[in-house]
Structure 1
Amino acid sequence: MTTIAVTGAGAVLGQGIIKSLKSAGRDYRVLAFDPNPLSPGLYWGDSHGILPMANDPQYTAAVEAMLERDKPDAVLVGTDVELEIFAENRARWEERFATKIVVSPADIIRIADDKLETARWLEANGLPFPKSVAGEDRDGIEGLIADIGFPLVVKPRIGARAVGVSLAKDRAELDAALEGRDGLVIQQWAGPDDEEYTAGVLCFDGEVSAAIVLRRDLRDGNTFRAYADEYPDCDAYVRKVAAALQPYGPANLQFRRGPDGQFRLFEINARFSGTTPMRALLGFNEVDMVLGKLLFDEQVTQPPLNKGVVVRFLEEQLLPREAAASAQAAA
């Protein structure tokens, strides 16, 4: 049996990774970890455990203790905040604990985490990008307004799920969006809501081995409907971006097509995606494909994809009574 550890099992990403493992049809033993004993995904694995928050001084030691104790064949990281820690320790941990850690290099994670650095990286690599300036760069903002006008998008440089994002249609709305805030980026509007896409790519050995593009509808910053169809121009675009980025394994690219027909990528996630289990339903189980490559020496190839619309819905789960007791004790 192949043992896979999944961190951040309570997060949307962590839950999606576990769902994909369970649907893969392979003999995986899933170890689920999360800081909160009330996290639902924690109880979807074959066993579970508690890891501290990533910003806890004991986090690194706790991960090493888990690797020593449970000896997983591979580790899949289920939250953004853990990625850089795993990236910085990947080589050492893989050698010491004879495991595989699916994480891109730290410099790629830093580019992906920062929306302004993402735009700068795209520009430096000759790829379409949303014109962007830092929120504190007042001269740059005035230049951006003079260059492209409104609307402009105001968002945190480091953030997720559209939290703190606003669309400024004029100077008054822009001033209101900037008031009392720092760590922001002001960007060119990428395009209309009905032209938003999310893509998954798998890259190994310098090659983009497989990709999937979905048009999507958002709710509270997460994909709640994904439309699977033929998008050949989008596919060519994401493969070009991924070839320049060179992630280790999976990456998620989010972009829109503007009224001028230009693609503008506004977010990179150097990891699996919240839409990972939706993709698995369409025949693109990227979690299993990555593990097949790393653990079973299988080639990653483009699978045939189903067509249709994937919809998300709420579901309930009863947690064991001891979970509530553990949470109360930790409070």
Structure 2
Amino acid sequence: MTTVLVTGVGAIMGYGLLRSLKASKPELRLVGTDIYPDAVGQAWCHVFEQAPMTASQNYIEWLRGVVAEHHVDLVIPGIEQDVHRLSDDREQLSTFDCSFALNNALLINLSRDKWAMHQALLDLGDASRIPSYLSGDFSSLSTLLGLPFILKPRRSYASKGLVRVRDTSDFAKQSSHLGEHLMAQPLIGSDEEEFTVGVFGDGQGQVCASISMQRRLAQDGSTAKAWIKNHASLDDAVVRLCSYFKPIGPTNLQFRFDGLDWKLLEINPRISSTTSIRTAFGYNEALMTVEFYLKGKLPSQPEIKEGFAIRFIEDYVVYDRDHF
């Protein structure tokens, strides 16, 4: 029996992974981990283990014990923090008797710092680059970028910590963080013009499969609504960027359109938090990941259904006891 371990199963990406795998490949034995003992994802796995904090000194040795105890064949990180920790510790992971669903190490490192990604795109001369600055006062930045402009954390995801600057008061509250923690950018397009594209890369610069969705964000930065939308020019931008950065496995690229070009917001070299939505439309990146990292089988382009998706809060109820 094949055993797959998914980390961070209390988060939307982690339990979305579990639900997609359980529905499409029920013969898999699923092990879930999370730092919280009441993580909802344990409702869809066969075994649950409470994890230490990802940053803790003993995390890798703890994981080694869990992998050995449950005879795990594949570990899929289900939160951003685990992607980074596991990528950093690849040398130790090479001594484990299992596989890890990890992307290109260079791309993972680039994706951690949006300024580093900006510099890479600048060196490439790519049209998807958003002009970005680490210094400047309100007057100079508003002249360069227009109003409102944004201050974006260099190291974050899902639009967390993003500030729209409309006047000197907005800027003054954040200006001390510009450079080390924040970067200034023009506001690109509108909230209705944001797209998320999932690709499965072969590590050589080719895209094996992809899905493109227009989306609206919830307040926490996750996708609240999504529409299947295709644009040839967006496909061209995705193919071009993948030829540069050579992603391996599931990868997400976020874009906005400025009226002329598709501008890259970020690349997330991991499975998406929209994985359950993608699965519903025919793009099962969770299953693709298992097939690739365990069998070396690259996916082909699936048929994508048309439509839209809306996320809502759902209850999971356990009767007759106060815990899982």
Q: Residue 171 and residue 104 in structure 1: after superposition, are their counterparts in 2 closer, same or farther (change >3 A)?
A: same
SS in 2 for 1:41: helix
SS in 2 for 1:249: strand
Q: Which residue of 2 aligns with 1:329?
A: none
Q: Residue 162 and residue 297 in structure 1: after superposition, are their counterparts in 2 closer, same or farther (change >3 A)?
A: closer
Distance in 2, matches of 1:233 and 1:120, equals: 23
Distance in 2, matches of 1:119 and 1:180, equals: 18
Which 10-residue stretch deviates more, 218-227 or 117-126? 117-126
SS in 1 for 2:62: helix
Q: Which residue of 1 aligns with 2:55?
A: 55
Deviation at 1:42, TM superposition (A): 2.6
SS in 2 for 1:138: coil
Q: Is 2:154 aligned against 1:157?
A: yes
Q: Which residue of 2 aligns with 1:292?
A: 291
Q: Residue 24 and residue 253 in structure 1: after superposition, are their counterparts in 2 closer, same or farther (change >3 A)?
A: same
- What one-letter code is carried by the residue in structure 2 that aligns with 1:196? E
SS in 1 for 2:155: coil
Query: What is the root-mean-square deviation in Å for CA atoms of aligned residues?
Result: 2.2
SS in 2 for 1:23: helix
Contact 2:213–2:230 (CA under 8 A) maintained in structure 1: no
Distance in 2, matches of 1:209 and 1:126, equals: 25
Deviation at 1:275, TM superposition (A): 0.8
Deviation at 1:97, TM superposition (A): 2.8
Q: Residue 285 and residue 91 in structure 1: after superposition, are their counterparts in 2 closer, same or farther (change >3 A)?
A: farther
Q: Which residue of 1 aligns with 2:166?
A: 169
Distance in 2, matches of 1:264 and 1:24, equals: 34
Deviation at 1:224, TM superposition (A): 0.9
Deviation at 1:102, TM superposition (A): 0.7
Structure 2, unmatched stretches of 5+, are none
Contact 1:157–1:184 (CA under 8 A) maintained in structure 2: yes
Deviation at 1:81, TM superposition (A): 1.0
Which 10-residue stretch deviates more, 6-15 or 156-165? 156-165
1:203 alignment partner, one of 186, 201, 204:
201
SS in 1 for 2:42: helix
Distance in 1, matches of 2:51 and 2:290, equals: 23
SS in 2 for 1:132: coil
Percent of aligned pairs sharing the same letter: 28
How many residues matched? 319
Contact 2:104–2:246 (CA under 8 A) maintained in structure 1: no
Distance in 2, matches of 1:188 and 1:180, equals: 17
Contact 1:211–1:235 (CA under 8 A) maintained in structure 2: no
Distance in 1, matches of 2:154 and 2:299, equals: 33
Q: Which residue of 2 aligns with 1:236?
A: 236
> Which string of whole-angstrom CA distances, capped at 9 and with x for unpartnered residues, describes residues 4-29 of structure 1?
00011111211121122122235211
Distance in 1, matches of 2:52 and 2:42, equals: 14
Deviation at 1:227, TM superposition (A): 0.2
Q: Which residue of 2 aligns with 1:64?
A: 64
Q: Residue 89 and residue 176 in structure 1: after superposition, are their counterparts in 2 closer, same or farther (change >3 A)?
A: closer
Structure 1, unmatched stretches of 5+, are 325-331
Deviation at 1:236, TM superposition (A): 2.0
Contact 1:88–1:105 (CA under 8 A) maintained in structure 2: no
Q: Is 2:244 aligned against 1:247?
A: no
- What one-letter code is carried by the residue in structure 2 that aligns with 1:123? L
- What one-letter code is carried by the residue in structure 1 that aligns with 2:79? T
Q: Which residue of 1 aligns with 2:306?
A: 307
Contact 1:195–1:257 (CA under 8 A) maintained in structure 2: yes
Distance in 2, matches of 1:59 and 1:319, equals: 30
Q: Which residue of 2 aligns with 1:328?
A: none
Runs of 4+ in 1 over 6 A off after TM superposition: none
Deviation at 1:142, TM superposition (A): 5.9
Deviation at 1:273, TM superposition (A): 0.9
Q: Residue 226 and residue 177 in structure 1: after superposition, are their counterparts in 2 closer, same or farther (change >3 A)?
A: same
Which 10-residue stretch deviates more, 20-29 or 46-55? 20-29
